[in-house]
Amino acid sequence: MSDLPGKVLFSEDTLSERIAELGQSICSHYGDKPITVIGLMNGSLFFMADLLRHLPVTTRLECWRVSSYLGQRSTGKIQGLDSHQGDYRGRNVLIIDDILDTGLTLAEVKRTLQAGQASDIEICVLLRKLGTLIHPIEAKWIGFEIPDQFVIGYGLDLDHQYRTLPMIRLLDKDN
Read off the amino acid at residue 74: S
Q: Quick one: how far is CA 116 from the chain centroid?
A: 21
Q: What number of other Cβ atoms are within 10 A of residue 96's Cβ?
A: 26
The DSSP element (H or E) to which 73 belongs, if any, is strand 73-79
In the annotation, is 97 catalytic? no
* CA pair distance 123, 141, nearest whole angstrom: 7
The number of CA neighbours under 13 Å toward the Cβ of 167 is 15
CA neighbor of 157 nearest in space, from 46, 33, 2: 46
Neighbouring residues of 107: CB distance < 8 A, sequence distance ≥ 6: 135, 136, 137
* CA pair distance 84, 63, nearest whole angstrom: 9
CA neighbor of 150 nearest in space, from 166, 136, 134, 132: 132
Q: Exactly one of 101, 120, 157, 172 is catalytic; which is it? A: 101
* Residue positions annotated with a catalytic role: 101
